[in-house]
Structure 1
Amino acid sequence: MIEVNRKMESVAPPRPALVDKEHSRSAIWKYFGYETNEHGKPKDTSKPICKSCYRAVLTKGANTSNLAKHLKDRHPDLYKEFREVGNCSHFNITETLTKMKEDETQPATKTIHSQPTLPAVFEQQRKYEANSNEAKKLNRAVAVYICMDQVPVYTVEKPGFKQLLEDLNNRYALPSRNFFMHTEIPALYNETKEIVMNRLGRKTFFSCTTDLWTSRATSTFMAVTLQFVTETWDMQSWCLGCIGLNSEHTAECLREALEEMIQEAWKLDMSYMAGITTDNASANKKAFQQDFTWVPCFGHNLNLAINKGLDIDLSRLRKTVSAFSRSPKMLRQLKKKQKDLQLPEHRMIHDEPTRWDSAYEMVERFLEQQQAVCSVLADDRKKWHLMSKDSDITVLETVKEVLSPVSSFTDALSGEKHTTLSAVLPLSWKIFSTLTVEEGDSNLKRQLKDNIREDLRQRYQNNTHLQLILNTATFLDPRFKDSFVTLREEVKQNLMVSVNLLEAGGQSQQTSSPDDKQQPAKNTKSDLKRLLTSIQGGKKSEHGEGSSSREEGEGAETELKNEFSVYEKMPEISRIAECLREALEEMIQEAWKLDVIHGPLIN
Structure 2
Amino acid sequence: MNEEYAVDDPGIPVTEPADNTSNDNANVRVTRSGKKTLLDHFPKTSENNASASENSEETSANGSAQKEDSNSCELQKELESLSEEEKKIVHSSGSLVWLYFFKSTTNKEEAICKLCKSVRKTGASGSTKTLSNHLENSHVKEFHKFTKLSTIKKKLLQLTKSKVDPLTESKSQPTLLDLKGSFGSLPAKSLRAKDITKAIAIFLCKGLHAYDTVTEEGFKYLIWKLEPKYNIPHRTTFSRSIIPKLYEEVRSAQMQYLKKVVNTLESITITTDLWSSRAKDPFISCTVQFFESSEDCFELVHLLIDCRPFPHPHSAERICEAAYEMLEDISVDAEKVKVYFVTDNDSKMLLALQQPSAAKSADPSQPDILRSQRPWKHIPCFDHTLQLAISDTRKDIGANTVIEKVSAIVSRYSYSTLAKQNLQKFQKETNTVEHQMVKNVATRWNSEYLMLSRFLEQRAAITLELSDSGEDGLTSQQWKLIEGYVQVLKHIAEYTADLGSTKQPTLSMVNSVLFEIKNTLDEFLRKPSNKGSGIQFARALFNNVKLRFPDCKYKDNDQYVLATLLDPRFKALLMDEEEAQDKLVRAALKKKMEKGGEFVSPLSSPDKTTDGESAPKKSKWSNLGKLTKSKAEQHSDNSDLLSKEVQIYLSLPTIDVETGDAIKWWKTNGHSFPNLLPLASEYLGICATEVPSERVFSDGGNTVGPKRTCLLTEHVREIVFLHGNLKIPKIFKSL
* TM-score band, normalised by shorter chain: 0.5 to 0.7
Deviations 1:553-576 (A, max 9, x none): 4365443323222222223234xx
1:349 aligned onto 2:434: no
Indicate if the aligned counterparts of 2:581 and 2:647 stay in contact, CA closer than 8 A: no
In structure 2, distance between residues paired with 1:464 and 1:367: 36
Is residue 425 from structure 1 mapped to residue 514 from structure 2 by the alignment? no
Matching residue of 1:559: 641
Post-superposition offset of 1:487: 11
Q: How many residues align?
A: 438
**In structure 1, what is the equivalent of residue 669 of structure 2?**
595
2:417 paired residue number: 328
Superposed, 1:396-545 pairs within 5 Å as: 396-436=482-522, 437-438=525-526, 440=528, 441-442=530-531, 444-464=533-553, 467-485=557-575, 489=579, 492-493=582-583, 496=586, 499-500=589-590, 502-503=592-593, 505-506=595-596
On the 8 A contact 1:351/1:358 being kept in 2, the answer is: yes
Once residues 505 and 429 of structure 1 are traced to their aligned partners in structure 2, the CA distance between those partners, rounded to angstroms, is: 34
Structure 1: distance between partners of 2:537 and 2:634: 50
SS of match in other structure, 1:353: coil
Counterparts in 2 of 1:326 and 1:411: CA distance versus 1, 3 Å? same
For residues 555 and 274 of structure 1, what CA distance do their matches in structure 2 show?
A: 32
The alpha-carbon deviation at position 215 of structure 1 amounts to: 0.8
Distance apart, 1:402 and its partner CA: 1.4
The residue aligned with 2:314 is 249
Report how far residue 425 of structure 1 moved: 0.9
Alpha-carbon distance in 2 for matches of 1:275, 1:488: 29
Question: How does 1:157-176 map onto structure 2 within 5 Å?
Answer: 157-176=215-234
Corresponding position: 1:394 with 2:394: no
Instruction: Say which of 279, 302, 310 aligns to 2:394.
Output: 310
In structure 2, C-alpha distance between the alignment counterparts of 1:495 and 1:281, rounded to whole Å? 36
Aligned-partner SS, 1:208 = strand
Tell me: CA distance 1:491–1:225, structure 2 relative to 1, closer, same or farther (3 Å). farther
Q: Unaligned regions of 5+ residues in structure 2, if any?
A: 1-83, 85-151, 163-180, 356-373, 600-632, 678-735
Offset at residue 488 of structure 1 (A): 7.4
Shift of 1:253: 1.2
For residue 371 of structure 1, report the CA deviation from its aligned partner: 1.8
**Gap change, CA 1:567 and 1:356, over 3 Å in 2:** same
Change (3 A) 1:500 1:234: closer
Q: CA deviation at 1:494?
A: 7.5
| C-alpha distance after superposition, 1:183-234 (max 9, x if no partner) | 3223322332343334331324322211111111211111111122334223
The CA distance in 1 between the partners of 2:486 and 2:594, in whole Å, is 56
500-509 or 556-565, which deviates more: 500-509
Give the corresponding residue for 2:342.
277
Contact 1:472-1:491 within 8 A present in 2 as well: no
For 1:299, the aligned partner's letter is D
**1:262 and 2:348 are equivalent in the alignment:** no
Please name the residue that 2:385 is paired with. 301
Secondary structure of the corresponding residue to residue 272 of structure 2: strand
The aligned counterpart of 2:660 is 584
Q: Does the 8 Å contact 1:471/1:491 carry over to 2? A: no
In the TM superposition, 1:376-395 aligns within 5 A as: 376-380=465-469, 382-383=470-471, 386-395=472-481
Alignment-derived partner of residue 202 in structure 2? 144
Q: Aligned runs of 1:106-255 on 2, under 5 Å?
A: 124-200=182-258, 201-202=260-261, 203-205=263-265, 206-231=268-293, 232-255=297-320
Contact 2:585/2:643 (CA < 8 Å) preserved in 1? no
Higher relative contact order (CA 8 A, sep 6+): 2
Assess, with a 3 A threshold, how the Cα gap between structure 1 residues 597 and 566 changes in structure 2: closer, same or farther: farther
Contact residue 423 and residue 462 of structure 2 kept, 8 A: yes
When residues 268 and 142 of structure 1 are mapped into structure 2, their CA distance, relative to the original with a 3 A threshold, is farther
Q: Residues 482 and 488 of structure 1 are in contact (CA less than 8 Å); yes or no, is this contact kept in structure 2?
A: no
| Equivalent residue letter for 2:326 | M
The 2-side partners of 1:589 and 1:238 are apart by 17
**Does the CA contact (< 8 Å) of 2:413 and 2:419 recur in 1?**
yes
Q: Does the 8 Å contact 2:341/2:378 carry over to 1?
A: yes
Counterpart among 441, 448, 451 of residue 362 in structure 1: 451
Which string of whole-angstrom CA distances, capped at 9 and with x for unpartnered residues, describes residues 10-46 of structure 1? xxxxxxxxxxxxxxxxxxxxxxxxxxxxxxxxxxxxx
Query: 1:571 maps to what in 2?
Result: 653
List runs of 5+ in structure 1 lacking aligned partners: 1-64, 66-114, 510-550, 575-580
Q: Do the aligned partners of 1:422 and 1:470 also contact (CA within 8 Å) in 2?
A: yes
Contact 1:224-1:258 at 8 Å conserved across structures: no
The one-character-per-residue Cα deviations of 1:530-573 (angstroms, maximum 9, x if unpaired) are: xxxxxxxxxxxxxxxxxxxxx99436544332322222222323
- Partners of 1:124 and 1:394 in 2: how far apart? 70
- Structure 2 counterpart of 1:592, which letter? W
Code of the residue aligned with 1:407 in structure 2: it is: A
Aligned amino acid, residue 236 of structure 1: V
- Contact 1:468–1:490 (8 Å) recurs in 2: no
Query: Within 1, Cα distance between the matches of 2:241 and 2:541?
Result: 53
Does the 8 Å CA contact 1:255/1:287 hold for their aligned counterparts? yes
Q: Give yes or no for contact 2:581–2:646 (8 Å, CA) kept in 1.
A: no
- TM-score with structure 2 length normalisation? 0.54
Q: Normalising by structure 1, what TM-score?
A: 0.65
In 1, distance between residues paired with 2:595 and 2:502?
33
What amino acid is the match of 2:675? L
Q: CA deviation at 1:597?
A: 7.3
2:562–2:583 CA contact under 8 A, matched in 1:
no
